[in-house]
Amino acid sequence: MHFDPPLEQGRLLRRYKRFLADIETANGELLTIHCANTGSMLNCMGEGARVWFSRSSDPKRKLPGTWEIGETPHGRLACINTARANGLVEEALHAGLIVELAGFSGLKREVPYGQERSRVDFRLDYPSGPAFVEVKSVTLGFADSTVAAFPDARTERGSKHLRELAALARAGVRAVQLYCVNLSGIDAVRPAEEIDPAYAAALREAVMAGVEVLAYGVDISPEGIRLARRLEVAL
């Protein structure tokens, strides 16, 4: 995934009201831009940190740009725009980079399924049957550790998705939880039990039910982001 036009650099002044961020660009322009991240962004941002944003020329948009990448307090780069995760995964799926999911003949997005009225991110079709793939963007890192964690805030929605995947697996349908780790310098990912013990328990129950858990890390820079390597999952 290449950024075209290239991202612009600035520094963070503050994030507030969840979806807004005030920044100062490299040439001193003060802007309020969109923050497309519904999480807490714990350990992802700090006042004065470098940020990179995409600028929009759409006259219908209320805000002139979107925060894409941020420098964390630990010196890592994080993809702040969680909406990018599905695009990164889809790009990697079509390129055959996620070897565990290679060989599909069809791909559908946002497919309704489950007893709790969910939508799975991807349904992949194989000669042996479908695979349902749920994607989560991981940006929570820690000082002096190469293990990232998910989630960065309590998420009933995330637990619901795991329950839905577990129900599929018990019924003999392939179900996959895929963590897209949008953070540089990471070797593994784990459930953030200290933040959401219910999610951690749901993940372990899903694994026992037969849900596959995969994690892939990214190469990330202001020029572009791509899924690059398989990471360890520490349950």
pTM above 0.85, yes or no: yes
Bridge partners of 227, per DSSP, are: 218
* Residue 29: how many other CB atoms lie within 10 Å: 11
- The predicted-structure confidence for 84-122, as pLDDT tens digits, reads as follows 999 999 999 999 999 999 999 999 999 999 999 999 999
The band of 31, judged by pLDDT with boundaries at 50, 70 and 90, is very high
Taking residues 10-20, what's their average pLDDT? 95
Taking residues 63-80, what's their average pLDDT? 96
Q: Which domains does the chain have, with CATH numbers?
A: 8-79 (2.40.50.580), 84-233 (3.40.1350.60)
Average pLDDT, the chain: 96
- Three-class SS of 4-52: CCCCEEEEEEEEECCCEEEEEECCCCEEEEECCCCCCCCCCCCCCCEEE
Indicate the SS3 state at residue 86: helix
pLDDT at 57: 82
Angle CA 215–217–222, to nearest 5: 150
The band of 48, judged by pLDDT with boundaries at 50, 70 and 90, is very high
Indicate the SS3 state at residue 161: helix
Beta strands in the chain (DSSP E): 8-16, 20-25, 30-34, 50-55, 65-71, 77-79, 106-113, 118-126, 129-138, 147-150, 174-181, 188-191, 212-221, 224-230, 232-233
Q: What percent of the chain has pLDDT over 90?
A: 94
59: pLDDT strictly greater than 90 = no
